[in-house]
Amino acid sequence: MADRQHYLQCPICDEMVSATVVAAFDGEAEARLLASLVQGRLNRIVCPVCGHTGLAPEPVIVRMPSLGTIIGFMPVEVPRNRKAHLAARLQRQLEQSVGPLRTVKVCFGSAQLRRELPQAPWKGNPPEFQHRFDSPGAPRYRRIALNRALRKRPDDPVLLTRLGIALYDLALFREARKTLEEALARGPDQVDALYCLASVNLDDGNPAEAQRLYDRVVSATHDPVPRFLAGVAAYRAGQLHAALERLRQAAGEQPDLLEAHVWLAIVQLALDDKESAFASLRHAVENGLRDPHLILSHPEFQPVRSENAFKTLVALIERLHDRNAAKPGRPDHPAHHRRTRRGPRPARSRTH
């Protein structure tokens, strides 16, 4: 057996966790390790502060002499755009150390390993088998782990901010608001808490307060995404000219923020400026809009849906969408949820 010391930062509470990770072993001579591997227990790391657990995102080499096989196994899922590169690198590494073993296999996840080692003790394999330690997990899971961590660090504004974000993701707005306000009371510089609190207010029916908070986020970050959301909040608060100003600026600062162009068109329609509204939608198409749902999902466009200019524009987007569907890997709108070093950041409101 070969092992090494591994250090990973917990993605939930930032604790630096040290663990001994098994890098290679003989699957026949060390059947106990093979059983631990296939049952998702080998190289499982547990954070001592919040209890977050997951598998080390490192490959394990398994030698099976009687089969003449050496297996490089990645126990967690790998993004498709990295899988070929990682497989080639692992293949080269295995070929250099193959020795008398004739066959080299590279497996990603339990399904591929099960096909290579059907004789292994697979019964009772836990559902979290492929959960990575370096992934914070679903909001419900984060909520549990963060509450556990806060019992040890009750005044930590970063942990309170992350708990507020998890509660927001679960649509528990009252609890999220209380937690985020506490985070800001203990750490006024927590921009993520301010950002999420703005989204809570927008989604919970308080757009005027949401606009004020998003404007504060913009002042701190100069980020066009919260500026765009401030524009949405201003529109919902009935402040059309304030919305127009913010959305124009956001679309100018980040032309591929397609929702900014769409919402700019909505505000222009509300101001009875159809010509500018259609121009904004055309700018969205020029900057990459390929999903007609991004427009058709807004009831604000209902008054112009029967007009030829609108129909022509939607038909163009649908043609571009069909053409784009044949080109995998090209996102239909590139303004995705963002992540900071300190965890997930709510760069979108749920209802925009």
- The share of the chain scoring above pLDDT 70, in percent, equals 86
- Checking if the pLDDT of 208 tops 80, the result is yes
> For residues 191 and 217, is the Cβ–Cβ distance under 8 A?
yes
Which pLDDT band holds residue 59 (cuts at 50, 70, 90)?
A: confident
Instruction: Indicate if the alpha-carbon torsion angle 187, 191, 192, 195 is positive or negative.
Output: positive
For residue 96, CA distances in Å to 35, 64, 83, 190 come to 26, 16, 20, 49
User: Tokens standing for 14?
Assistant: 């930032």
If one compares 6 and 328, the residue with the highest pLDDT of the two is: 6
Using CA atoms of 193, 194, 198, 203 in order, give the dihedral in degrees to the nearest 10: 0
Tokens 């909040």, residue located: 233
Spatial distance between the Cα atoms of 330 and 157, rounded to a whole number of angstroms: 37
| Helix axes of 224-236 and 240-253: crossing angle, nearest 10 degrees | 160
Tokens 């497989």, residue located: 87
- Checking if the pLDDT of 75 tops 90, the result is no
pLDDT of residue 297: 92
Spatial distance between the Cα atoms of 22 and 207, rounded to a whole number of angstroms: 52
| Helix axes of 258-270 and 240-253: crossing angle, nearest 10 degrees | 150
Q: Which amino acid, 238? A: G
Spatial distance between the Cα atoms of 42 and 23, rounded to a whole number of angstroms: 10
CATH T-level assignment (fold) for domain 139-345: 1.25.40
pLDDT of residue 107: 82
Spatial distance between the Cα atoms of 55 and 35, rounded to a whole number of angstroms: 15
Contacts of 66 (CB under 8 A, 6+ apart): 28
CB 145: neighbour CB atoms within 10 A?
25
Contacts of 36 (CB under 8 A, 6+ apart): 42
Which pLDDT band holds residue 4 (cuts at 50, 70, 90)?
A: confident
Which pLDDT band holds residue 320 (cuts at 50, 70, 90)?
A: confident
* Domains of the chain, residue spans: 2-116, 139-345
Using CA atoms of 116, 120, 122, 127 in order, give the dihedral in degrees to the nearest 10: -60
Q: Determine if the pTM surpasses 0.85.
A: no
Average pLDDT over residues 128-154: 88
Which pLDDT band holds residue 135 (cuts at 50, 70, 90)?
A: confident
pLDDT of residue 325: 63
- The share of the chain scoring above pLDDT 90, in percent, equals 57
pLDDT of residue 89: 77
- Return the exposure string of 336-347: e unless at least 16 CB atoms fall within 10 Å of the residue's CB, then b: eeeeeeebbbbb
pLDDT of residue 265: 97
Contacts of 11 (CB under 8 A, 6+ apart): 52, 133, 134, 135, 136, 343
Q: Which amino acid, 340? A: T
Q: Give pLDDT tens digits for 221-249.
A: 999 999 999 999 999 999 999 999 999 99
Q: Which amino acid, 112? A: Q
- Checking if the pLDDT of 345 tops 50, the result is no
Backbone Cα Rg of the chain? 25
> For residues 38 and 25, is the Cβ–Cβ distance under 8 A?
no
3-state secondary structure of 105: strand
If one compares 61 and 127, the residue with the highest pLDDT of the two is: 61
- Checking if the pLDDT of 298 tops 60, the result is yes
Read off the DSSP letter of residue 132: B
pLDDT of residue 87: 76
Average pLDDT over residues 52-79: 83
Q: Give pLDDT tens digits for 100-130.
A: 556 788 888 777 788 888 887 776 554 444 6
